[in-house]
């Protein structure tokens, strides 16, 4: 059972025939939820934890969810029990000063000091940059909603050649904030027409992605309608995004290989 009120979910291995049995490599990971899933996402997609498990989960692993937006975080004593952490998107600003955001910034600094694998998505990308000494804020080019073609740098193109990652990576985007300035010693891994920092890495243990590799178009359309109903986006933005939604398909399989490869330590920088 996938549970978003706090708890663990085991991705159980499928037992092969006796003659073909092989050791299943197990890992323990934590998802830090920075937003509450809507009733629709819970009903249709099983909640954001399940959405991330479909992108990142593999046989034999155990995943734990913490509602970071409700001030739930692993204790410092528990950190070493995890192989990696995932920071999700949020409707809050990564440059805000809400207490839970400040607590998350402090927690991410601890993860960095311990060289823990951390993958940040959208808000997660921005809050990682902030925690490491970078700057975030409103995008100079406004909202980016829809499927955007991301262009990897030569560094990551060379690195990912073994994973058969293409030179252009369409991904679903839904953001009005961005990384303004990278932390010292961080490296840009990808950019797009609207966003200068679509991906970045910090050492070999932290990676941020501005887009949403975990989303499909159904979730995107739902979020557009939800934000429109709450007057968080203008009608013109929503209409443009919906009108262009079928122009490009997100390469979810390539993003899955990339995200799993990073989080599971299969990439050598």
Q: How far is CA 221 from CA 34, 147, 173, 193, 218, in A?
A: 20, 11, 11, 22, 5
Burial (Cβ within 10 Å: 0-12, 13-18, ≥19) of residue 76: exposed
Q: Which of 175, 178, 214, 237 is catalytic?
A: 214
Cβ contacts of 60 within 8 Å, gap of 6 or more: 11, 12, 13, 24, 25, 26, 27
Residues 187, 200: contact at Cβ < 8 Å? yes
Closest listed residue to residue 262, CA positions, set 211, 204, 210, 222: 204
Q: Which of 34, 212, 227, 259 is catalytic?
A: 212
What angle, rounded to 10 degrees, do the helices at 99-113 and 123-131 form? 70
The structure tokens 């829809």 sit at 146
Residues 199, 148: contact at Cβ < 8 Å? no
Is 122 a catalytic site residue? yes
Cβ contacts of 161 within 8 Å, gap of 6 or more: none
Is 34 a catalytic site residue? no
In angstroms, the CA 133 to CA 112 distance is 12
Q: Which of 122, 173, 175, 227 is catalytic?
A: 122
Helix (H) or strand (E) holding 29: strand 28-33
What angle, rounded to 10 degrees, do the helices at 235-243 and 217-229 form? 160
Annotated catalytic residues are: 122, 212, 214
């Amino acid at each position: 059972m996938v549970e978003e009120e706090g708890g663990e979910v085991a991705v159980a291995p499928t037992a092969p025939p006796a003659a073909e049995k092989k050791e299943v490599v197990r890992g323990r990971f934590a998802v830090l939820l920075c937003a509450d899933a809507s009733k629709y996402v819970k009903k249709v997609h099983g909640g954001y934890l399940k959405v991330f498990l479909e992108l990142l989960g593999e046989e034999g692993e155990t995943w734990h969810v913490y509602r970071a937006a409700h001030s739930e975080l692993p204790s410092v004593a528990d950190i070493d029990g995890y192989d990696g952490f995932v920071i999700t998107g949020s409707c809050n600003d990564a440059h805000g000063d809400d207490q839970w955001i400040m607590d998350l910034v402090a927690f991410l600094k601890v993860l960095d000091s311990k060289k823990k694998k951390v993958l940040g998505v959208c808000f997660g990308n921005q809050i990682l940059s902030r925690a490491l000494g970078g700057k975030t804020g409103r995008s100079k080019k406004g909202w980016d909603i829809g499927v955007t073609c991301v262009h990897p740098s030569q560094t990551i193109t060379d690195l990912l050649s073994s994973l058969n990652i293409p030179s252009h990576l369409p991904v679903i985007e839904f953001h009005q904030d961005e990384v303004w300035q990278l932390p010292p010693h961080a490296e840009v891994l990808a950019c797009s027409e609207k966003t200068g920092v679509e991906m970045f890495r910090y050492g070999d243990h932290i990676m941020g992605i501005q887009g949403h590799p975990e989303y499909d178009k159904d979730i995107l359309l739902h979020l557009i309608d939800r934000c429109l109903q709450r007057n968080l986006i203008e009608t013109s933005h929503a209409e443009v995004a919906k009108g262009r939604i079928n122009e490009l398909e997100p390469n979810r399989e390539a993003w899955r290989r990339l995200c799993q490869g990073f989080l599971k330590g299969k990439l050598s920088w």
